[in-house]
Chains A and B, each alone.
Chain A
């Protein structure tokens, strides 16, 4: 195997091990070099399957290079590059090491041609990424990290059980279309569903991502969930249940996003909403829909990274990303403001920005297949995402009422990373052919028809009108210092309360039982003592006279009974 055929996954994972021993500029250069070298490998990587291993009699394929894995590997490497540049101001080695091994694990999972290899890298993404949350070094982040790790490992366990079940059902560990017809397929679906933040399985995402460091969240936003989308596309394309699941995912998080105060958590909710579009695409399963999913994953990783980078810059400079505490920052951070607006325009799918050319493929696919309700929900979610990510994020952070906070512009490395992302957002949006040429299936789609451009602009500008009017007349809910209950309440509040109550009740019952048992034993011993003890009635020596008396009484009674 030549150096080029060596997986870029190992370049990042093994290369990251050197970071702690390097210092200063050399360390910075090395962290940037690793994803760049990974890209060079990608450039020369031939398609096909190789690096096969035999494990317990099973054939494992650690490198499967086709159009799907190539596209995801490229965007993962771009995300890794942006993230490491973004984090260069941080002198500690933990974030780049965790981030690059995490990115490498995600790449390894993308190239996995069998379920066991996928499982190994799946678990590695969980174990490496949790350090990005713990790097915040607070009690809150420690606890959030533990919850995150628990959920991620649970997903891994399901994947392993599912893979073994699949092996016994089909005799193969190969990772192709799995389907929902078998128990193994269902278990793996659930494992993917957790990582993809399906409704009710979603809250680990909003719970943990906002607790990571400013760079950690940028890394986190790129890999785990899109890896899950990739796996769903490989294993479950065309499963209709995904249309329902995806449509629900697009709609319900946006209600939370409107009332959430932590702006990075708002972005986590909108990430969930964007995943919904991709899941719908997988569920529809036509070539256009799957192309849409792949394209949307690509554009989304970049614009979502850009949005998280802009909020991370605010967090780094101001120390908070609470909407209630911000406002007027455009005066201090003009470049960050511009980059944030470009990210916001991209996620909102404004024409000439990247989201427009990818999301519309999924909406068109839904319409072509006659999914009217789904199409209406997606249109609602498109308006909603503009509302909370497109307007709310830049408005409350950089404009709104002037909070009086003044700070420096983001560090240069952050601006460079945001600049790269912004150029890609506009570049892909303006020249969609660049991306379309690399999608899994041949593309015959033009997003820039007059009708589509006009109707999309109408949708967005009228949504902006709704925001403006509601804001002007004080109807829009103000940003309040608060948390909103979500499904994490079940394991952060309900479960501990139930456990505490049950423990308390059980403690009482046990004490009562102990008292009753010990009391019973005491009484029994007392009774025995009374009757058989040293002074007990049955142990006493009785005078012969009293015995004769009692014999006489008995004989008299017998005599009387005999006569009557």
Chain B
């Protein structure tokens, strides 16, 4: 059990978790801005030159991954003792 006299940590406060959340947005923004300052983009394929291609590809890939996995779980999920039952 969680001890009651434990000191509070920075991440225990909801507003600090919010700060972490918004800082991810800020970092994404900064990385897009940084691309503007990239003098020359050395790429293998033409579409890599689209502004922020890697970022948006990662974003879409992860959302698609999670949604697909969520759908897959409906089909695949079984109780924890599924293989242990006789």
Q: Is the CB of B61 within 8 A of A259?
A: no
Q: How big is chain B's contact interface, by range?
A: 35 or more
| In the complex, chain A residues whose CB is within 8 Å of the CB of B67 | 475
Q: 1/0 per position for A456-498, CB-CB distance to B under 8 A?
A: 1111111111111010100111001111111000001100000
Q: Is the CB of A384 within 8 A of B1?
A: no
Is A2 in contact with chain B by the CB < 8 A criterion?
Answer: no
Q: Is the CB of B78 within 8 A of A383?
A: no
Q: Is the CB of B82 within 8 A of A483?
A: yes
Is A258 in contact with chain B by the CB < 8 A criterion?
Answer: yes
Q: Is the CB of B68 within 8 A of A466?
A: no
| In the complex, chain B residues whose CB is within 8 Å of the CB of A475 | 66-67, 70
Contact pick for A482, options B35, B42, B59, B78, CB 8 Å: B78
Most buried by B among A367, A379, A399, A458: A458
**A483 vs B73: C-alpha distance when bound (angstroms):** 10
Q: Is the CB of A476 within 8 A of B2?
A: no
Q: Is the CB of B34 within 8 A of A454?
A: yes
Contact pick for A461, options B1, B41, B55, CB 8 Å: B55
Contact pick for B65, options A255, A458, A464, CB 8 Å: A255
Q: Is the CB of B54 within 8 A of A455?
A: yes
Is A380 in contact with chain B by the CB < 8 A criterion?
Answer: yes
Q: Is the CB of B48 within 8 A of A455?
A: yes
| In the complex, chain A residues whose CB is within 8 Å of the CB of B34 | 454
Contact pick for A331, options B9, B61, B66, CB 8 Å: B9
Is A142 in contact with chain B by the CB < 8 A criterion?
Answer: no
A449: nearest chain-B partner, CB-CB: B42
Is A166 in contact with chain B by the CB < 8 A criterion?
Answer: no
Q: Is the CB of B65 within 8 A of A254?
A: yes
Contact pick for B58, options A450, A459, A483, CB 8 Å: A459
Q: Is the CB of B58 within 8 A of A458?
A: yes
Known: A402-B2, A460-B58, A461-B24. A470 touches B78 (CB 8 A): no
Is A11 in contact with chain B by the CB < 8 A criterion?
Answer: no
Contact pick for A259, options B31, B41, B72, B83, CB 8 Å: B72
Q: Is the CB of A476 within 8 A of B61?
A: no
**Interface class of chain B by DSSP:** helix
| In the complex, chain A residues whose CB is within 8 Å of the CB of B11 | 330, 399
Contact pick for A383, options B28, B53, B62, B83, CB 8 Å: B62
| In the complex, chain B residues whose CB is within 8 Å of the CB of A402 | 2, 12
Q: 1/0 per position for B24-50, CB-CB distance to A under 8 A?
A: 110110011011001111111100100
**A492 vs B84: C-alpha distance when bound (angstroms):** 10
Known: A466-B63, A477-B69, A480-B77. A454 touches B44 (CB 8 A): no
Q: Is the CB of A364 within 8 A of B44?
A: yes
| In the complex, chain A residues whose CB is within 8 Å of the CB of B77 | 259, 480, 482-484
| In the complex, chain B residues whose CB is within 8 Å of the CB of A485 | 75-76, 78
| In the complex, chain A residues whose CB is within 8 Å of the CB of B59 | 462-463, 465-466
Contact pick for A463, options B40, B48, B61, B73, CB 8 Å: B61
Q: Is the CB of A255 within 8 A of B58?
A: no
Is A445 in contact with chain B by the CB < 8 A criterion?
Answer: no
| In the complex, chain B residues whose CB is within 8 Å of the CB of A467 | 62
Q: Is the CB of B2 within 8 A of A259?
A: no
Q: How big is chain A's contact interface, by range?
A: 35 or more
Is A140 in contact with chain B by the CB < 8 A criterion?
Answer: yes
| In the complex, chain B residues whose CB is within 8 Å of the CB of A482 | 77-80
Is A171 in contact with chain B by the CB < 8 A criterion?
Answer: no
| In the complex, chain B residues whose CB is within 8 Å of the CB of A256 | 69, 72
Q: Is the CB of A461 within 8 A of B31?
A: yes
| In the complex, chain A residues whose CB is within 8 Å of the CB of B72 | 255-256, 259
Q: Is the CB of A465 within 8 A of B24?
A: yes
Q: Shortest CB–CB separation between residue B72 and chain A, in angstroms? A: 6
B3: nearest chain-A partner, CB-CB: A406
**A459 vs B31: C-alpha distance when bound (angstroms):** 10
| In the complex, chain B residues whose CB is within 8 Å of the CB of A367 | 44-45
Is A404 in contact with chain B by the CB < 8 A criterion?
Answer: yes
Q: 1/0 per position for A227-264, CB-CB distance to B under 8 A?
A: 00000000000000000000000000011101100000
Q: Is the CB of A454 within 8 A of B66?
A: no
Q: Is the CB of A470 within 8 A of B57?
A: no
Q: Is the CB of A404 within 8 A of B2?
A: yes
Known: A458-B55, A477-B73. A465 touches B2 (CB 8 A): no
Q: Is the CB of A481 within 8 A of B80?
A: yes
Q: Is the CB of B62 within 8 A of A483?
A: no
Contact pick for A459, options B27, B45, B55, CB 8 Å: B55
**A380 vs B69: C-alpha distance when bound (angstroms):** 14
Known: A258-B66, A458-B31. A484 touches B78 (CB 8 A): yes
**A256 vs B77: C-alpha distance when bound (angstroms):** 11
**A470 vs B67: C-alpha distance when bound (angstroms):** 10
**A466 vs B69: C-alpha distance when bound (angstroms):** 14
| In the complex, chain A residues whose CB is within 8 Å of the CB of B6 | 331
Q: Is the CB of B62 within 8 A of A463?
A: yes
Is A372 in contact with chain B by the CB < 8 A criterion?
Answer: yes
Q: Shortest CB–CB separation between residue B18 and chain A, in angstroms? A: 9
Q: Is the CB of B28 within 8 A of A259?
A: no
Shortest 6 CB-CB contacts between residues of A and residues of B: A367-B44, A466-B62, A458-B55, A404-B2, A258-B69, A462-B55
Chain A interface (Cβ < 8 Å from any Cβ of B)? 140, 254-256, 258-259, 330-331, 364, 367-368, 372, 375, 379-380, 383-384, 387, 399, 402, 404, 406, 449-452, 454-468, 470, 472, 475-477, 480-486, 492-493
12 A-B contact pairs sorted by A residue (CB < 8 Å): A367-B44, A375-B44, A380-B57, A383-B57, A404-B2, A458-B31, A459-B54, A461-B55, A463-B59, A463-B61, A467-B62, A470-B63
Chain B interface (Cβ < 8 Å from any Cβ of A)? 1-3, 6, 9, 11-12, 21, 24-25, 27-28, 31-32, 34-35, 38-45, 48, 52-59, 61-63, 65-70, 72-73, 75-80, 82-84
